[in-house]
């Protein structure tokens, strides 16, 4: 019986070690993609950064495209966890603010994954994994969409299609991340943390129905 338990423990330990090594590979790959650009990073570079042989990388991942997609899945699943933590939050602006914060607070990751998705779609690479990524993203979209729909029904947001609100948020995030990483514009912005908070304040109120109506009344006078 002890020998059997010992065998089970060994298998469990090996599984844990495999998962930890896989996480280390993904972490190192993401860092290298951001620092050097994904096209310049080779499997050999990733292996050297992790401290393993090239063959070990291929025990976990068949191609770089698979690494790309697993990183993107991990990113979207992290947002899902943020939403889960906000499910019972009574602050009407909290969900939208934290969605924006999640995207904008790490512009390098956002811009990396935006580039990677364009490449993967163009190559029609690993369609089943892409479908899984889109399923996670749609789940996040539905959570955010249901929050927006409730705010519209309560008269707090402009009565426009939910997709318009989500699209406006995406446009704000995409522009903000590009701007934060622009050497030219960052000379004038100053502290990025202060700028991000300013953007979040704008983002959660940009489609606020009352603010728009109040602004119109002031113009009329």
pLDDT tens by residue, the chain, 221 residues: 556 656 666 667 788 888 999 999 999 999 999 999 999 999 999 999 999 999 999 999 999 999 999 999 999 999 999 999 887 776 767 888 899 999 999 999 999 999 999 999 899 989 999 999 999 999 999 999 988 898 899 888 899 999 999 999 999 999 999 998 888 887 887 777 888 888 888 888 887 876 544 444 444 54
Q: Which of 46, 61, 76 is the last residue of a domain?
A: 61
When divided into structural domains, the chain yields a total of 2
Q: Which domain holds residue 213?
A: 65-220
Helical spans, DSSP H, in 86-157: 94-104, 107-123, 127-153
State whether 110 and 190 are in the same domain: yes
pLDDT of 9 reads: 67
pLDDT of 213 reads: 46
If you search the block for the tokens 């009352």, which residue do you land on? 210
The CATH number that applies at residue 144 is 1.10.357.10
**Can you tell me whether residue 29 is helix, strand or coil?**
helix
If you search the block for the tokens 């990025």, which residue do you land on? 192
State whether 122 and 184 are in the same domain: yes
**Can you tell me whether residue 208 is helix, strand or coil?**
strand
Cα–Cα separations (whole angstroms), residue 146 to 86, 140, 163, 166: 13, 10, 11, 11
E strands of 47-104, at which residues?
Answer: none
pTM: 0.85
Say if CB 157 and CB 151 are below 8 A apart: yes
**Can you tell me whether residue 65 is helix, strand or coil?**
helix
State whether 207 and 180 are in the same domain: yes
The CATH number that applies at residue 17 is 1.10.10.60
């Amino acid at each position: 019986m002890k020998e059997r338990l010992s065998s089970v423990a060994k298998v469990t330990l090996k599984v844990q070690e495999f998962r930890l090594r896989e996480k280390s590979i993904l972490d190192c790959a993401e860092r290298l993609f951001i620092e050097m650009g994904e096209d310049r990073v080779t499997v050999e570079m990733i292996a050297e950064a992790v401290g393993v042989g090239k063959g070990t990388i291929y025990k976990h991942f068949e191609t770089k495209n698979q690494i790309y997609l697993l990183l993107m899945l991990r990113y979207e699943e992290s947002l899902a966890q943020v939403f889960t933590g906000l499910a019972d939050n009574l602050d009407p602006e909290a969900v939208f603010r934290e969605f924006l914060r999640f995207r904008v607070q790490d512009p390098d990751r956002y811009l990396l994954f935006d580039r990677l998705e364009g490449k993967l779609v163009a190559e029609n690479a690993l369609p089943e994994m892409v479908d899984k990524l889109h399923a996670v993203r749609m789940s996040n979209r539905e959570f955010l969409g249901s929050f927006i729909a409730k705010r519209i029904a309560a008269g707090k947001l402009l009565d426009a299609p939910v997709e318009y609100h989500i699209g406006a948020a995406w446009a704000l995030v995409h522009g903000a991340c590009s701007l934060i990483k622009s050497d030219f514009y960052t000379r004038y912005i100053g502290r990025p943390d202060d700028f991000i908070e300013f953007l979040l304040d704008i983002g959660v109120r940009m489609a606020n129905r009352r603010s728009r109506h109040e602004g119109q009344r002031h113009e009329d006078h």
